[in-house]
Amino acid sequence: MRKLDTRTIVVASHNAGKIREIADLIGPFGFSAKSAAELQFEEPDETGTTFEENAAIKALASAKASGLPALSDDSGLVIDALGGDPGVYTANWAETADGTRDFAMAMQKVETALEKVGASTPDKRTARFVSVLCLAWPDGHTEMFRGEVEGTVAWPPRGSQGFGYDPVFKPEGYDTTFGEMSAEEKHGWKPGDAQALSHRARAFKIFVETCLNA
């Protein structure tokens, strides 16, 4: 494992929600970070078929463009009754004809697909959110950190916090969806905490323990 010996990195994302969550997570470690969106880097085509492949594509593109280490996230909702869909295509399910993303439409798409296969009770609506963080260096070296959180798909959507599919994901052991949780409850994690809740926080916890010697 290669250790990160600088606190200057690029957050390899154009997704405002992800950038905000990653900024919240790395803030306590004194990082100086700018996003690929701020630096006006072109978004690379995510042609991978796994979260790891797509995370690497994004992190390597920003690392090579900036000459600095870059941290990316590729994440998605994996639903058992749908054979793992939308999975790596989670964002694609939200794409509209004009190129924008409509997650209300995407959540309805998920619900329609679940209804079609008769997944009407919680035991048939099991799912997990997956996050893979990739830390890439300009020389092409990468390190991967994967976090997952189990739960069920709720309907109708609940809450206006978070982003993406958060309003329909109820993590195991909770009566509230990610969309009803504060940022601190959903992804807040600090060194010394034994547990992290969200998939992204769980991946970040591994990143800290592996690359920052925290």
Question: Annotated catalytic sites, by residue?
Answer: 74
DSSP annotation of 86: B
Q: How far is CA 11 from the centre of its chain?
A: 13
Find the Cα–Cα–Cα–Cα dihedral 27, 28, 30, 32, rounded to 10°: -10
Peptide bond preceding 156 in cis form (omega within 30 of 0): yes
Smallest CA-to-CA distance from 22 within 112, 131, 111, 110 is with 131
Q: CA of 144: how far to CAs of 49, 50, 59, 149, 206, in Å?
A: 16, 12, 11, 17, 9
Helix axes 199-211, 16-26, angle to 10 degrees: 40
Q: How many CA atoms lie within 13 A of 200 on its CB side?
A: 28
